[in-house]
Structure 1
Amino acid sequence: MLTVETRHAIDPNTAKGLDTTELREHFHISGLFVEGEIRLTYTHYDRMIVGGAVPGSGELVLDHVAECGTASVLDRREMAVLNVGDTGTVAAGGESYSMNRGDVLYLGMGSGPVTFSGPGRFYILSAPAHATYPSRLVTIAEAASFRTGAPETANDRTIYQFVHPEVMESCQLVVGYTQFHGGSVWNTMPAHLHDRRMEAYLYFDLDPANRVFHFMGRPDETRHLVMQNEEAVVSPPWSIHCGAGTGSYTFCWAMAGDNVDYRDVEMVGMEELR
């Protein structure tokens, strides 16, 4: 079963006037992982698709998505798949990939239908592509990584880069995830902006009793969204994106836009936040 929801882009002045319910309707994505279903959110922010697939005891095939305007979803797109569940299998382009928890699979443009099977919980990200790059399974051992932050500022963390120029080539997708150490809970603080790229977060490995407070908005007009485990949020190019949890968690970050330069950001000083 395939379900697709469309999210239209809005400007920061409009976002200033939204209440909690309206903010969640525009930026918060829940219910991604339902057994026996593929659920996609098609956004008008750089045409990023955010979704989930849980095949359970059967197979799920992602092929025609009417919102893309092509016969098959990857005819003019690339895709990254993160497995946040048990070991499962993804097949595309005549190849089959066994994915352990934490692995990321890149599928190049023209890979054809995508088949999901096994007990995996597959997080799906897709953006338009202008060229075909080789499909590749990237394990956590193969990812680029670096440790940053400090316990004193509650942001001691390791950043893993999977679909990233230091690991492999893609058109515009840049995907990785961040894991925290020893009681640290703050992500992406100090905050930043990158007007040339949108971003999407998936919060996972979060205890059901805990929450992440995700901060968004212009630096002088901040808002927040309360996130549960395995929920996602869309971050427009004009918005900050950072958060703090009431317990440990991991978050997957994914970007699409004009370039794949991870460091192409405008830092926001703490004194600028309101």
Structure 2
Amino acid sequence: MSNRPAMNVETRWAVDPKTARAMDTAALRSAFLVDNLFTPGRINLTYSHLDRLAVGGAVPVAEPLVLESFRTLGTQGFMDRREAVIANIGGQGTVRVGDSTYTLDQGDMLYIGKQAGEVSFSGHGARFYIVSAPAHQRHETTLIKIEEATRIDLGAKETSNERSIFQFVHAEGVKSCQLVVGMTKLAPGSVWNTMPAHVHDRRSEAYLYFGMAETTRVVHLMGEPSETRHLIVANEQALLSPGWSIHSGAGTANYTFIWAMAGENIDYRDVDPVAMEDLR
């Protein structure tokens, strides 16, 4: 394919909790906040040394966008030793994987297994969110419509956390090597997510906040339970969350977020709860 738009790749190094305690707001944002994910006609990818997660965005316009390998991966093709989940947060679009083409409506996700072949994105109006992690085993590429995801309704209006969790790639659903991916939608009038907080030192996590008005913001809480920090997050910005950090937040209005984990296991329930009285 000729004249392909460039794919921009940024690398983020892992940050330990002792270093994070001394970081100011600008340093925290530089290390953990991922913005400018969605640029028309391009793929923007951030490669993190947190369990070697890669997160990115693809916004096709006229020509298909191809997910290419890059030097850090050390492989000829992007999918040679990795798996990925593609989520469409925009209008209808298509993802071509090898010789197969998949149509994704808004809210759908596509799991792509190791060695699946070249991946490309098409569809003016589609906005594809990309999450990828190393894979040691090959699993079947599978399209998961949002109505097929496992839905769990939690919270209440009285505690401002009424929400629906949609599990797409998990141990009891579509199989993967290490990716666990889902989406949480907060009901109107609810703003809190993942509180009481938890950590899971066995897995790193990435959050993508979206479905927000231009002026809506989420106060994302991170850091050790005894040394919390916060970041102000706008629409279609993502957060990288180390295993030692809490990952919670509250918004100025309701919002939606995609959560994706990779690490030692794929047990969604394997978390270390943090009691409210232990937060500082």
Superposition TM-score tier, normalisation by shorter sequence: over 0.9
Question: Which 4+ residue blocks in structure 1 deviate beyond 6 angstroms?
Answer: none
Provide the residue aligned with 1:190 in structure 2: 196
CA distance in 2, matches of 1:237, 1:221: 14
Contact 2:188 2:253 in 1 (8 A): no
Task: Give matches, 1:33-182, under 5 Å.
Answer: 33-119=38-124, 120-182=126-188
Report how many residues are paired: 274
How big is each residue's C-alpha offset from its partner over 1:239-262, in whole Å with a ceiling of 9 and x where there is no partner?
000000001100000000000000
Asked whether the 8 Å contact 2:169–2:179 carries over to 1, the reply is yes
State how far apart, in whole Å, the 2-side matches of 1:181 and 1:208 are.
18
**CA distance in 2: counterparts of 1:76 and 1:151, whole angstroms:** 44
Conservation of the 8 A alpha-carbon contact between 1:144 and 1:166:
no
SS in 2 for 1:68: coil
The one-letter code sitting in structure 1 at the alignment partner of 2:276 is M
1:24 matched residue in structure 2: 29
Question: Which letter does structure 1 place at the counterpart of 2:107?
Answer: G
Is 1:11 the counterpart of 2:8 in the alignment?
no
Aligned counterparts of 2:192 and 2:9: Cα–Cα separation in 1: 32
Contact 1:63 1:112 in 2 (8 A): no
Deviation at 1:66, TM superposition (A): 1.8
Q: What pairs with 1:240-251 in structure 2 (closer than 5 Å)?
A: 240-251=246-257
Q: Secondary structure at the match of 1:45?
A: coil
Q: Give the match for residue 243 of structure 2.
A: 237
Q: Residue 111 of structure 2: SS of its match in structure 1? A: strand
Q: What is the identity percentage for the equivalent residue pairs of Structure 1 and Structure 2? A: 55
Q: Which amino acid aligns with 1:53?
A: A
Q: Which amino acid aligns with 1:201?
A: Y
> What residue is the counterpart of 2:3 in the other structure?
none
Aligned counterparts of 2:268 and 2:168: Cα–Cα separation in 1: 12
Where structure 1 has 5 or more consecutive residues not aligned to the other structure, the ranges are none
Are 2:225 and 1:219 aligned? Answer: yes
Q: Distance in 1 between matches of 2:10 and 2:188?
A: 37
CA RMSD across the alignment: 0.7
Counterparts of 1:62 and 1:157, CA distance in 2: 33
- TM-score, with length taken from structure 1: 0.99
- TM-superposed CA distance for 1:46, in Å, is 0.3
Deviates more, 1:178-187 or 1:249-258: 178-187
For residue 25 of structure 1, give the secondary structure of its aligned residue in structure 2. Answer: helix
* DSSP-derived class of the 1:15 partner: helix
